[in-house]
């Protein structure tokens, strides 16, 4: 039996006006448009596209199939007065869309040294991912969203245009952040936050439905939300009531685990209350 021939591998296509420093690692079928600058420690996966005037520097890796639009700047030094040129990393997953003017910075050496982005996330024009942030997969940061340092954004989070997130804040998976929101406290998974200062406005039910959550799970999260943020009792007492359930739904368990985790920030609530 004849062994099939391997698929053809195509070398990178680099516009003659661009600079690709010696040492850069380029996967198959990479395309680098005009007037780009790719640094010596950069790694680009297969089928990555960097359109005109894209700049990727530092120890930055970009996963297969990601497209970087004009004037995006990835991997430049963190905007932190304590950065002294340490060899830290920016790691971007596969299939991401990074639109015009987006900036992403590597981590700080004293905080793990890595900024990470998951797969299939979308960063609209002029959004910013600061040092030591960790953004999940299938997230969307709309135009001009600003993440300060050490922010964690879970999978399938959607952030409206101009939203700003305080350093060390956590945003749980499937949360929805409204446009121009000021996010200074942690946002629970499935939470929907809006305003300045940011206030929980309910649950991202549409996002849960789009992700395939069944009706019992959605109802369980709704009940847990009402119990946790019942103003008649402190949040910690309310959480204990939810945790005592013998048939705790996995989606509800995610919320409890998120609240239980150590954090530098308080917890966003419908009443702007602090962690109970």
Catalytic site residues?
A: 131-132, 149
φ, ψ for residue 49 (rounded to 5)?
Answer: -120, 130
Q: Which two tokens stand for residue 154?
A: 């879970």
CB atoms within 10 A of CB 203: 23
* Alpha-carbon gap, residue 125 to 101, rounded angstroms: 6
- CA 164, 189, 275, 201 dihedral sign is positive
Q: Which two tokens stand for residue 83?
A: 């950065």
Closest CA to 255 of 244, 245, 266, 242: 242
**What residue spans of the chain are helical by DSSP H?**
205-210, 215-228, 235-243, 250-260
* Alpha-carbon gap, residue 118 to 139, rounded angstroms: 8
Q: Which two tokens stand for residue 204?
A: 């991202």
Cα Rg for the chain, rounded, in angstroms? Answer: 21
* Alpha-carbon gap, residue 135 to 216, rounded angstroms: 28
End-to-end CA separation in angstroms for the chain: 69
φ, ψ for residue 24 (rounded to 5)?
Answer: -65, 140
């Amino acid at each position: 039996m004849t062994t099939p021939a391997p698929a053809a591998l195509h070398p990178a296509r680099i516009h003659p006006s661009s600079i690709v420093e010696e040492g850069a690692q380029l996967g198959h079928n990479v395309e680098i448009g005009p007037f780009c600058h790719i640094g010596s420690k950069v790694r680009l996966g297969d089928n990555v596209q960097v359109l005109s005037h894209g700049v990727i520097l530092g120890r930055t890796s970009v996963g297969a199939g990601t497209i970087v639009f004009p004037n995006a700047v990835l991997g430049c030094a963190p905007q932190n007065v304590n950065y002294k040129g340490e060899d830290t990393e920016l790691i971007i997953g596969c299939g991401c869309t990074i639109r015009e003017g987006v900036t992403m910075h590597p981590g700080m050496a004293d905080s793990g040294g890595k900024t990470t982005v998951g797969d299939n996330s979308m960063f609209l024009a002029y959004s910013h991912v600061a040092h030591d942030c960790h953004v999940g997969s299938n997230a969307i940061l709309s135009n001009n969203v600003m993440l300060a340092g050490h922010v964690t954004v879970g999978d399938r989070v959607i952030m409206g245009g101009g939203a700003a997130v305080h350093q060390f804040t956590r945003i749980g998976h499937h949360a929805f952040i409204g446009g121009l929101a000021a996010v200074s406290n942690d946002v629970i998974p499935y939470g929907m936050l809006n305003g300045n200062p940011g206030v929980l406005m309910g649950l991202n039910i549409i996002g849960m439905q789009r992700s395939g959550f069944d009706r019992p799970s959605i109802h369980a999260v709704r009940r847990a939300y009402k119990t946790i943020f019942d103003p008649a009792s402190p949040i910690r007492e309310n959480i204990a009531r939810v945790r005592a359930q013998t048939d705790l739904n996995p989606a509800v368990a995610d919320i409890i685990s998120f609240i239980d985790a150590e954090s530098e920030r308080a917890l966003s609530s419908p009443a702007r209350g602090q962690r109970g």
